[in-house]
Amino acid sequence: MAQLLDGKKTAKAIRARIKEEVDDLSGIASRRPHAVFVQVGNVPASTTYVNMKYKMAQEVGMLSTVERLPGEIGQQELLALLHKYNTDRSTHAILVQLPLPSHIDEFAVMQSIAPAKDLDCFHPENIGRMVLGLPGPKPATPQGILMLLDEYKIDPYGMNATIVGRSNLVGKPLGLLLLQRHATVTWCHTRTRDLPAACRGADLLVSASGKPGLVHGGMVKPGAVVVDVGTNYVAVTQPGGSMEMKLVGDVAFDEVEETASYITPVPGGVGPMTIASVLYNALTLYKLIEGIV
């Protein structure tokens, strides 16, 4: 029976360590880390995420600002606001919550955030720095997954790591970070011919496919470490007959926990680690900008 990789507990411990470091550094530096979260429009999920990031940044002792802009705002106005924070010496980290309204060019917005303040690591320059192994922010979910593995002393060194999904946010950068940690990486995606065979070779299997139940018991090597990045909302019928939306991952948990050595739950696995990782990025950017080593 697999051991749970408890993201909720681990994220809490990491936030406590970040708070300690923020408190220590704020004693020696002239200012505290300051993160700015920008939301355009009022997509409810974005409001939830931005509120959570704001609250957690405050809790670890950072200064934190939320800018909520109307959905009708013009792109130039948004870029002007970002320019203000790019050039503001007391701001260390900027995040623009996605998705943006369709009249705004997301890529142009991501490119207009100063790389030194790019909390999400969405800027091409920071992706390049990550690929080269240079200091800087890292994509939040992949970095959060590595932090979770580290906490449980699971070292990817020499492992066959198979990733289902090749998104710019998760699959692609995670593979590159695992390669830096000396894993042998395989990326699987919608065109992979024999997905079960590719997965069965994995010592570390990460699913970021967005398909509930895609990874089932027969796809997992005995003793493999299984990380479920899926955040899928599915309708389930309640005992009284009413329908409710439930958050599930990509992995058929009940089957896979019989085979795996470690497994992340959904919820409470990768999700909380992503937010801890965003805070870690804010601390990293702060230290680089303020010249703290």
Footprint on this chain of ligand GUN (rule: CB under 6 A): 95-98, 120, 140
For residue 226, give both structure tokens. 């299984």
Q: How far is the CB of 97 from ligand GUN (least distance, A)?
A: 5
For residue 74, give both structure tokens. 């013009």
Q: How far is the CB of 278 from ligand GUN (least distance, A)?
A: 8
Q: How far is the CB of 104 from ligand GUN (least distance, A)?
A: 13
Separation CA 60–CA 33 (nearest Å) = 10
Indicate the residue whose CB is closest to ligand GUN. 98
Separation CA 258–CA 46 (nearest Å) = 36
- Cβ(112)–Cβ(79) below 8 Å: yes
For residue 290, give both structure tokens. 């303020």
- Write b or e for each residue in 22-38: b if 16 or more Cβ atoms lie within 10 A of its Cβ, otherwise e: beebbeebeebbbbbbb
Q: How far is the CB of 30 from ligand GUN (least distance, A)?
A: 28
- Cβ(260)–Cβ(226) below 8 Å: yes
Q: Which is nearer to ligand GUN, 6 or 120 (CB)?
A: 120
Q: Which is nearer to ligand GUN, 10 or 46 (CB)?
A: 46
Contacts 24+ apart (CB under 8 A), 148-152: 148/5, 148/7, 148/10, 148/227, 148/264, 148/269, 148/270, 148/273, 149/5, 149/204, 149/225, 149/227, 151/10, 151/13, 151/14, 152/3, 152/5, 152/10, 152/262
Q: How far is the CB of 140 from ligand GUN (least distance, A)?
A: 5
Q: How far is the CB of 54 from ligand GUN (least distance, A)?
A: 13
Candidates 113, 122, 160; CA nearest to 142 is 122
Q: Which is nearer to ligand GUN, 137 or 156 (CB)?
A: 137
Catalytic residue annotation: 53, 97, 120
Q: Which is nearer to ligand GUN, 243 or 245 (CB)?
A: 245
- Cβ(233)–Cβ(212) below 8 Å: no
Q: Which is nearer to ligand GUN, 10 or 97 (CB)?
A: 97
Q: Which is nearer to ligand GUN, 142 or 256 (CB)?
A: 142
- Write b or e for each residue in 224-242: b if 16 or more Cβ atoms lie within 10 A of its Cβ, otherwise e: bbbbbbbbbeeeeeeeeee
